[in-house]
Chains A and B, each alone.
Chain A
């Protein structure tokens, strides 16, 4: 399974960054148009991003330090609900907060079980990216 990691330094304290991961208003300020969030372990993590229904659960909620959610695209064979995990790790730094993100359990470059899966996923993502670019 493939993994993707990235990080960013944010000039805001960890508690404010944390709010953006666990509250609907905070989440929608940077990702998605509608969200339903219950930031407790096992609680709903549901965000629609440009029409892409991202569905999962909060797996770890450690205030101001760590948030882990399961992450999948509703109806997708390639990235089904529950198939991947996104971890946000918040570390206090002088300027504010470093966010380390890792997205694990991503599909490998193997032959997919159904070619339909990825062409469908890419279709919706293509529309999404066009919409994002247009806005």
Chain B
């Protein structure tokens, strides 16, 4: 159980990162090709400063990677962020089974 809790930490960061609509919009923009901050900002109609902030959060959560093309910093979706889907589902079932346990034990008590 404690291992599960530790594993859930980066996942929390991922889910927090994705809880923001602007960040989800940014992921959509960089899912096919690497783009510079200014290009991303134009696409999602945010300031460059705000876009930079969101990109930092997304990078911290492992959802985008940054590369360099000369002096330009380019961002693109990191496809192995896919791993978090699996991790999410692995956190999902223990929680649900705990709820099943509570519900069934309540029902068993009610039945006498």
Residues of A near any B CB (own CB < 8 A): 2, 4, 6-13, 16-17, 19-20, 26, 29-31, 78-79, 96-97, 99, 101, 103, 106-112, 115-116, 118-119, 121-123, 125-127, 129-130, 132
Contact = CB atoms under 8 A, between A and B. Distances in A.
Best-buried of A10, A11, A107 by chain B (most CB within 10 Å): A10
B51 interface: no
B86 A109 contact: yes
Given A122-B85, A122-B88, A8 B31 contact: no
A10 B82 contact: no
A127 B85 CA distance: 14
A60 to B, nearest CB: 18
B89 A119 contact: no
A116 B28 contact: yes
Contacts of B93: 4, 6, 101, 103
A126 B18 contact: yes
16 contacts: A4-B86, A4-B90, A6-B97, A8-B98, A11-B101, A12-B104, A12-B108, A19-B107, A30-B99, A31-B96, A106-B89, A109-B82, A122-B14, A122-B18, A123-B24, A126-B19
